[in-house]
A and B are shown apart, each in its own frame.
Chain A
């Protein structure tokens, strides 16, 4: 059973920078896992932020960026805004099947 692991929670100050990570139980995450990142606020559907590691959707704010670092997929928020407080999920592809991480609850305080 493949497990995708994210930090359960992180706290960041407004205007600060924070990096969320996404690890795979199968080993290092590479571009071949096609990492996607999503933001979800309470009572709302998820909103897509990043696809295939680092590509942004047309609606993704410039302060969000994705990359690979240290064998993990990462999502970095630079210049965090209060409205960035949300749950963030990564998604990895394993030969056609997707697996979500458990999510990171980001608090802006």
Chain B
């Protein structure tokens, strides 16, 4: 069965960076893309970026351009999302989701990132 398992809770200081992982199983990792989505406490969903695992092409939300990078490691079927220069408004639950041919189906369980001094 398809599973996306994300890394655990992170607590970071303002100005730091965070890197969240998303390990895929149950399907051929290189045949699909991965999108990253976040949700601040009590707020809606915000799409952050996408990567084609096949060729490494990426798209990013304009708001986060320059601060976010999504990558993959095909040897371990793991996707990563790195967010730099963290501020308090980056405190959120971060999700990865399998994204292929405009179909977003399977989601990870979420990773809580807390930014606090």
Contacts and interface: CB of A to CB of B under 8 A. Distances in A.
Interface of B is mostly: strand
Interface residues of A, number: 25
Interface of A is mostly: strand
Interface in A23-81: 34, 36, 38, 40, 45-48, 51-52, 55, 57
B40 to A, nearest CB: 12
Interface string B29-55: 000000101000000111100100000
Contact of A46 (B45, B102, B103): B45
A99 interface: yes
Given A100-B44, A100-B45, A45 B109 contact: yes
Interface residues of B, number: 22
B95 interface: yes
B92 to A, nearest CB: 13
Nearest to A48: B105
A48 B45 contact: no
Contacts of B109: 45
Given A34-B102, A93-B102, A97-B61, A48 B47 contact: no
B107 interface: yes
A47 B109 CA distance: 11
B62 interface: yes
Interface of B: 35, 37, 44-47, 50, 59-62, 95, 97, 102-110
